[in-house]
Structure 1
């Protein structure tokens, strides 16, 4: 197992390109939002990662674990057909469909980042292979609920949308914990 990354490590934030082709723009935005989310959890301990805001049960730890699942789901399971990565492979989904959000408070903060970093690195390798095989028009496995074809382009746009939405949540959560804003 990979050694947990220290939460004090600083993640570089590189702005997406403003004049690039479609693929470079999509990957630039995805990488930007990945870095934004990772920076939102750096320097926080277990208690801070489990902090909630108002009546919501959303936490920064839950967000990072959810985005780990999202990376693994879209650029792993649906793209390649591989089984879910640990800890999602034997999660009690039938008992709690939002298990990744609810169980994160029990996880070591460093382990959350190890899982996240592993899912991102694996997703990038899979994405590179898929792009050489079929480019952005490559059709990936259908979503379970609608069974229709989905292009790799759609998957990348969806991942950017998912990250952008959760970056807003992360902004509010982080500010409520220690006043940190930005990104």
Structure 2
């Protein structure tokens, strides 16, 4: 059993953007670390009756980032929870998507405005939703990873 050091919430700057982006990046790093290095068989196995698995959670969050921030279209949300790709590929794709999303977010100084070239939602709403979605699934990932190999901590 691996006990990782529990990382406290980030100390961010004082602006709304710094707080939102700081917490989002903290959660993104947490779930990527939780999936990174997980044994393949366990990471793809459904540990609960809903079929949720560790790799599927991160694949889903990749699609959420791509849809919400990058403006890509997702036509089948339930399918975003499934992938046959190996753990390192899913983690790398998530981190690459986060990097692209952050580049776009860096170009959005007005939280009340929608993303460039779009009519909605506001960047503030998108950041808040990403924090909620990523935090929710990071909690699921904590439990799944502990069931797989006993790894705990952020």
Give the TM bin, normalised by the shorter chain. Answer: 0.7 to 0.9
Q: TM-score, normalised by structure 2?
A: 0.85
Alignment deviations for residues 38-85 of structure 1 (CA, whole Å, 9 cap, x no partner): 1111211321211222312011100110011011111101xxxxx45x
Q: How does 1:1-150 map to 2 (within 5 A)?
A: 15-17=9-11, 20-77=14-71, 83=72, 93=75, 97-102=77-82, 104=83, 106-131=84-109, 135-140=110-115, 141=118, 149-150=120-121
**Residue equivalent to 1:178:** 149
Larger RCO: Structure 1 or Structure 2 (Cα < 8 Å, ≥ 6 residues apart)? 2
Stretches of structure 2 that go unaligned for 5 or more consecutive residues are 1-6
Task: Tell me how far apart the structure 2 counterparts of residues 112 and 18 of structure 1 sit (CA, whole Å).
Answer: 28
Q: TM-score, normalised by structure 1?
A: 0.72
Stretches of structure 1 that go unaligned for 5 or more consecutive residues are 1-12, 78-82, 143-148
Specify whether residues 161 and 122 from structure 1 end up closer, same or farther in structure 2 by C-alpha distance, changes over 3 A only: same
RMSD: 2.1
Give the aligned length.
147
Task: Tell me how far apart the structure 2 counterparts of residues 60 and 53 of structure 1 sit (CA, whole Å).
Answer: 9
Contact 2:36 2:87 in 1 (8 A): no
Structure 1 runs (4+) greater than 6 angstroms displaced: none
